[in-house]
Amino acid sequence: MTELSPNEILAPVSERTLAANIPAKVVWSVEVVFRKRPVVSRWADFEWEPTAVTMSQIAPPLRCEAETHDEQAFWRWYGALMDLHPSEGEGYWLNLTSDAPCVFVMWRLDDDAPTDAVPVPAVVTASYNEAGRMLDASDRVDRVPMPEAMQGALAEYTMKFYTPEKRRKVKRNDPFRQGAGDSANALIVPPDSPAARGGRHG
């Protein structure tokens, strides 16, 4: 198991709400699922793509297991890590206030890898900004839908460590609701998420 310093926490979120004493450095253990997507190409019969990222109670090291659902083959990586940093607050906020919050997976598979090789998740992040930097570096980055429990926990973390700048003009699809006081700068989260039930902390 990876050794973490006292200001870090390695914990699955499940349905719990993060407490007010959220540490600045948070590390979640996650599982990343890949599948082979059939393609019509003269060079390849399929492409790899991540299909899901879920919270997990299985810590590193990374290990992969094949599984089958509805006659489709999938490969599940256990022991991947997803770090949260206060410096990525804007990236989390942009993600959570989008139409479809997601998790970004940067993965690697050498071009000369054996035919039975499986992509390895190198970085798992919820930050739009971090994903953009990886794309700028020509890394392979795909997105998958973010589970609701993860959205709620990420919203709690974001509200504690990031305060978006107030906007002078309300635009269509603006993530801020119009109103008086701090409510005009509130983060919009799913109504049934842990963050919505737990309120604002920090």
For the chain, give every domain's residue range: 26-198
- Residue 98 has phi, psi (to 5 degrees) of -80, 170
Q: Which residues contact 118 (CB under 8 A, 6 or more apart)?
A: 34, 48, 64, 75, 109
* Range with lowest mean pLDDT among 2-6, 50-54, 93-97, 145-149: 2-6
Dist. CA 77–CA 53, nearest whole Å? 10
Give 34-63 pLDDT, tens digit per residue.
Answer: 998 766 666 666 688 999 999 999 999 999
**Tens digit of pLDDT for each residue in 97-122?**
999 999 999 999 876 667 678 999 99
- Listed in sequence order, the DSSP H helices in 43-123 are 89-96
Q: How many residues belong to the chain?
A: 202
Provide the token pair at 123.
Answer: 């970085």
Report pTM: 0.73
CB contact at 8 A, 59 and 3? no
For residue 153, give the nearest of 33, 4, 30, 2 by alpha carbon: 30
